[in-house]
Amino acid sequence: MAINGATELYGIMGNPVAHSLSPAMHNGAFGALGLNKVYLPFAVQDVAQAMTGFRALGIKGVSVTIPHKQAVIPYLDTIDPVAEKIGAVNTLVINNTAIHGENTDWLGANRALSEKISLKGASVLLLGAGGSARAIGFGLLEAGASLTIASRTPEKGQGLARLLDCPWLPLAEAGTVTADALVNATSMGMGSQQDLLPIARETLANFGVVMDIVYAPLATRLLQEAEKAGCQTIDGLAMLLYQGAAQFELWTGQQAPVEVMRQSLLTSLGYNP
């Protein structure tokens, strides 16, 4: 696609942001549908100035990642009710300088889980109490699931459990729970923690479905052990993909080319499907 005077600009704001897979995913989607749009990484330190800049430059849409998902909220003109409940925004839709905030993280998680189970009436054990866990938790409740939270930090976990009006227990006791699905929203399984399991291996048979939001590595130790235990598994690429597909649809009004976006992500991670 040739970039010209009519090219519409989108991007992702964060700090750091150079590692993001979103440019590959969204530019792959724009190219597949022949849309005159381009998506770039924006390393942002000053949120207020960035939001002014987006308006001034006519940028059409922005993904928001760490550490700015809460910081953008005071600068929005409107916000989606679920994003307001979550207290975090990961998507900006900009129309004639008016900035609207959405959160598609929960949509991504729900869509990934919905491929394996019906969420309405399902029981879910959610591991973690950070920003991702918060979005996933609100989304699960929105879909009619029942929730239990387990986390390493009691204060954070109990605070989120109060907010979501659901039970909490220490991560060390997570294996005492039986549920339709287990979702790992901790960092255990990535980087220096690749060999760590967030829950005892012998308790994985308590869950029909196990989802990990960690996507590097794609086959985390948790997912490998869950498969051995006979669970259905969902890797971390699914949530990333589907939250991105929801963003694409908000920005373009067109159905996202999900398979193209999936292949773009896999290629960026070094997989050649």
Any idea which residues carry the catalytic annotation?
69
> How many other β-carbons are positioned within 10 Å of the β-carbon of residue 100?
18
The token duo for 102 is: 């959405």
Q: How far apart are CA 173 and CA 154, in angstroms?
A: 12
- Segment (H or E) for 22: helix 22-32
Q: How far apart are CA 114 and CA 180, in angstroms?
A: 12
Q: How far apart are CA 201 and CA 105, in angstroms?
A: 27
Q: How far apart are CA 244 and CA 84, in angstroms?
A: 19
Distances (CA, A) of 96 to 12, 26, 92, 110, 249: 19, 22, 13, 31, 18
